[in-house]
Structure 1
Amino acid sequence: MVERETWATRVGFILAAIGSAVGLGNIWRFPFQTASSGGSAFLAVYLLAVVVIGIPALLAEFVIGRRTHLDAINAFKRLGRSQWLFVGALGIVGSFWTLSYYSVVGGWVIRYVVGSLNGNALVAPGDYFGAVSAGPEAVAFHAAFMLITVVIVALGIERGIELATKFMVPSIVVLLLGLAVFAATLPGAGQGYEFLFSFEPGAIASNASTVIPAAVGQALFSLSVGFSVMITYASYIGKDDNLFTDGVTIAVSNTFVGVLAGLVVLPLLATQTGNPGEGGPGAVFVAIPTALANLPLGRVVGVVFFLVVLIAALSSSISLLEAVTSYLVDQGLSRVPTAAGLGAIIFLLGVPSAWDTAWLSWFDGIAVALFLPITVLLVVVFVGWVMGRDAMDELRQGMGSDGIAPLWLWALRTVVLLAVIGVVALNLYDLFLTPEKGVYIVPPL
């Protein structure tokens, strides 16, 4: 029997988990979701969701993974709850589904690295994005991104994922900090900060059905909760790791990068358009090149920026593919052909999103509005009420104090459970009972 892989170091696990969280969900998705969902109102709900739902749910997935040391499906079997296998399977399907369109956006980033290098992306950013975001070129770069993802996952945990993320995560933070400083010097940047931080409680109440699901969905998406990713990653760690400390470190790091990305993109939107509320999936790909076009070293900065965005995208995409690959590897299949075969299938599933951005929006809506919250709800119920004290005992291992574990279990059974039920109900209401808003139910024709 082949020995199962593990992380070489605890730092490697933390950086890989941060890398999974700190990806396009922060640098691409967070700014445009903030811009299109009310700015400060969205940010307030997002931060609350990270603390109330995100961290407890993240720890729940950690508990399942470390207790079983198996993939997200077989973990439930080892726990003696085979009837719950579908929960891990649903998360893996969510990873598979999400990576199909996530890879398309990753392909855009590759295209922008090239476009910044030759200067084409900086000439007319809006027109450039419209030209490269869909069609044959988008399909080709989608394929290139998937190929890079497959190669890293095929190399394994220590030589592939851990080695890559030890370089990726620090690079992302350093460059974003530099760009945030640059954005702060631009005229009109204050409008972006005001949009992000001028909190009005009434804005949440008046737009609750839009802001709350969007913010909670973003919190889950950016933490990689609900994809079975964190179950998979935690299955490679030892019993002496402090899961609570690791979980909080990952959540804080992820949130910091998301807000930092907002401090880059929203001021740039305010500077270029006068309205930071003008978001959309292309916000990063239009605002950044527009600002860089005015810099003497715009091409160089553009290449470096989009290269780091590419690194961020890869740090998440490898975790999504690993969640699926891990299951088949645990069944005895060889890692390299498994990763390659899954990559090919995911590429084909993503072709519609590469061909038409309307499909990409539809895939994203299904993932964030249905797959994520429903999977998180099921994980919360399972860990809180089925595992119960066993889950609490697992969290205690590696901790210097016993006080947090009972509080976490109580919160999981009550506050977190009720909050996730509320989010699922809002999403279902939004999608099925408000036809004018439920654009995700019917695929674009």
Structure 2
Amino acid sequence: MSTGNDTRETWSTRLGFILAAVGSAVGLGNIWRFPFQVGQEGGAAFIVVYLAFVLVIGFPAMMVEFVVGRKTGLNTVGAIREFAGGAWTYLGSLFVFIGFVILAYYSVVGGWVLRYVLGSVTGGYVGTTGPEEAPVAQQYFGEIATGLDALAFHALFMLLVVVIVALGVKRGIELGVKIMVPAIALIFGVLAVYAFTLPGAAEAYSYYLSPDLDYLLANWQSIVPAAAGQGFFTLSLGMGVMITYASYLSEDENLGIDGATIVGFNTGISILTGLVVFPILFSAGVDPGEGGAGAIFVSVAQALGDIQFGWLLGVLFFGTVAIAALSSAISLIEVIVSYAIDELGVTRRRATVLIGSGIFLLGVPVTVDTDMVTLYDIFAAKILLVVGGILLVVLVAWRHADDAIAELGKGIDSFAGIDRVWLWTVRVPVLVVLVVSLALGILEFVSFLQGDFADFLASL
């Protein structure tokens, strides 16, 4: 098999790759999506399943993507074609499509974040309209989440992404994440220490860190697909990102250590996010299960208005969320850009501009109604990502197991025994959990189409 094009860009350092992969994983999935998933799925009960999923399913699945990417040295479509060929090539095309769908609504949410950074400075979401009326935070979100405001900031967010990616792997992506990722960790660490001093912190920690096993057993059908979708979403799995990033690696890299570092850092940021968000919510008396996809924009913003120096905390919080959103978005669009460069012969700048424009257009419907965010999110995170993961596991662990083991062993000094453990973990537990999660995710998607989305269509 090919090792890729010798003229293709590579990471200048191993740290650059790890930070880029961490930057891909650490994003809105951790800071926007994770808190509202925890809130909707019972707090610590969800955390237990999520952590188990990341360790037992997410890490082995990440190695699957690393193997394909490094062995071929190609974009997702070219990598799958080189690795297996035939009808399997369509799997690479599926990854490109997934990137389009996710980034289309991700960019709109990224635009919300930029708008909230501005709102934190001006105090636009602080206060109430009257003693018997809704908080300003709720009205503020309603005003900026859709319409021309949402469209404009969606365009601004995509413009920032396009500029960074157009500069290339080393000067754009790698340089950007070397600044972004440490900034995220530093600022959120400071915010977590501050949140510890808030009056509602003890209650928040109990909710967040003490699982209710009875609740977990009673609600596993909802929690399992949510944890699976969250795990794949936040680790950037099932969308070709890790295939693309690993394609820029040399053969002497230890994929196991790199993967463990990425998974550990990403999971730590998710947990750290909860240590910031939930004390803020509980201190302000806000129900953590409220708000859905708009949770951090309504609930957290409302809570910030009731905390001393809340505006400054808001600038730091939403500013960090904006950095994280950009770090993930550049990884998503790089999957599609690398395909255009390798397969279509388009220059990086031209590819980035054209693809960014297409993603912007696909995201326009999301600026019409916030229900579209939920529709896109369930379809992408709980169906498409899981389908991509299932097919890739079948391809690598069942059809090309010998090639996979040989590639994974490169750069690892002692690999005896570990290879078979990894292979059968991927073949059975990973595959079974993904299939069950897909079935439950499809049921949830159908239920949404028949319920909330049907009501939305009827209102048009």
Aligned to 1:24: 28
Q: Taking structure 1 as reference, are residues 294 and 80 closer, same or farther at Cα in structure 2, changes over 3 Å only?
A: closer
CA distance in 2, matches of 1:239, 1:35: 42
SS at match of 2:284: helix
Aligned to 1:410: 424
Residue 300 of structure 1: CA displacement? 3.2
2:397 maps to 1:393: no
CA distance in 2, matches of 1:218, 1:318: 19
Matches within 5 A, 1:84-163: 84-123=88-127, 124-163=136-175
CA distance in 2, matches of 1:154, 1:180: 35
CA distance in 1, matches of 2:454, 2:98: 18
Q: Taking structure 1 as reference, are residues 218 and 48 closer, same or farther at Cα in structure 2, changes over 3 Å only?
A: same
SS at match of 1:4: coil
Matches within 5 A, 1:313-328: 313-328=325-340
Matches within 5 A, 1:5-84: 5-84=9-88
Which amino acid in structure 2 is aligned with residue 330 of structure 1? Answer: D
Deviations 1:10-36 (A, max 9, x none): 000000000000000001100011001
Matches within 5 A, 1:115-264: 115-123=119-127, 124-264=136-276
**Contact in 1 for aligned 2:379/2:445 (Cα 8 Å):** no
Match of 2:387 among 374, 389, 406: 374
Residue 201 of structure 1: CA displacement? 2.1
Q: Taking structure 1 as reference, are residues 293 and 197 closer, same or farther at Cα in structure 2, changes over 3 Å only?
A: same
Residue 440 of structure 1: CA displacement? 8.3
Match of 1:344 among 357, 381, 389: 357
**Contact in 1 for aligned 2:94/2:388 (Cα 8 Å):** yes
SS at match of 1:139: helix
CA distance in 2, matches of 1:291, 1:442: 32
CA distance in 2, matches of 1:425, 1:329: 36
Which amino acid in structure 2 is aligned with residue 423 of structure 1? Answer: S
**Contact in 2 for aligned 1:36/1:279 (Cα 8 Å):** no
Residue 177 of structure 1: CA displacement? 1.1
Which amino acid in structure 2 is aligned with residue 121 of structure 1? Answer: Y
Q: Taking structure 1 as reference, are residues 132 and 441 closer, same or farther at Cα in structure 2, changes over 3 Å only?
A: closer
TM-score (norm 2): 0.92
Residue 248 of structure 1: CA displacement? 0.8
Q: Taking structure 1 as reference, are residues 236 and 43 closer, same or farther at Cα in structure 2, changes over 3 Å only?
A: same
CA distance in 1, matches of 2:370, 2:443: 25
Q: Taking structure 1 as reference, are residues 166 and 80 closer, same or farther at Cα in structure 2, changes over 3 Å only?
A: same
Residue 204 of structure 1: CA displacement? 1.9
Which amino acid in structure 2 is aligned with residue 357 of structure 1? Answer: T
Deviations 1:181-209 (A, max 9, x none): 11121112222211112212222221111
**Contact in 1 for aligned 2:158/2:360 (Cα 8 Å):** yes
Q: Taking structure 1 as reference, are residues 333 and 51 closer, same or farther at Cα in structure 2, changes over 3 Å only?
A: same
2:427 maps to 1:423: no
Which amino acid in structure 2 is aligned with residue 4 of structure 1? Answer: R
Q: Taking structure 1 as reference, are residues 24 and 436 closer, same or farther at Cα in structure 2, changes over 3 Å only?
A: closer
Aligned to 1:308: 320
Greater mean deviation of Cα atoms: 354-363 or 116-125: 116-125
**Contact in 2 for aligned 1:76/1:82 (Cα 8 Å):** no
Identity of matched residues, %: 47
Deviations 1:304-325 (A, max 9, x none): 3222111100000001100011
CA distance in 2, matches of 1:405, 1:440: 46
CA distance in 2, matches of 1:420, 1:364: 17
Number of aligned residue pairs: give it: 443
Q: CA RMSD in A?
A: 1.8
Which amino acid in structure 1 is aligned with residue 143 of structure 2? Answer: A
CA distance in 2, matches of 1:380, 1:213: 18
**Contact in 2 for aligned 1:71/1:330 (Cα 8 Å):** yes
CA distance in 1, matches of 2:165, 2:286: 42
Residue 178 of structure 1: CA displacement? 1.2
Q: Taking structure 1 as reference, are residues 265 and 412 closer, same or farther at Cα in structure 2, changes over 3 Å only?
A: same
Q: Taking structure 1 as reference, are residues 442 and 402 closer, same or farther at Cα in structure 2, changes over 3 Å only?
A: farther
**Contact in 2 for aligned 1:117/1:303 (Cα 8 Å):** yes
Greater mean deviation of Cα atoms: 129-138 or 300-309: 300-309
TM-score (norm 1): 0.95
**Contact in 1 for aligned 2:288/2:299 (Cα 8 Å):** no
Greater mean deviation of Cα atoms: 76-85 or 237-246: 76-85
SS at match of 2:49: helix
**Contact in 2 for aligned 1:98/1:363 (Cα 8 Å):** yes
SS at match of 2:293: coil
Greater mean deviation of Cα atoms: 86-95 or 236-245: 86-95
Which amino acid in structure 1 is aligned with residue 365 of structure 2? Answer: P
**Contact in 1 for aligned 2:286/2:303 (Cα 8 Å):** no
CA distance in 1, matches of 2:59, 2:451: 30
CA distance in 2, matches of 1:335, 1:19: 21
CA distance in 2, matches of 1:339, 1:73: 17
Residue 382 of structure 1: CA displacement? 0.7
Residue 444 of structure 1: CA displacement? 4.2
SS at match of 2:76: coil
Aligned to 2:133: none
Q: Taking structure 1 as reference, are residues 442 and 325 closer, same or farther at Cα in structure 2, changes over 3 Å only?
A: farther
Greater mean deviation of Cα atoms: 407-416 or 150-159: 407-416
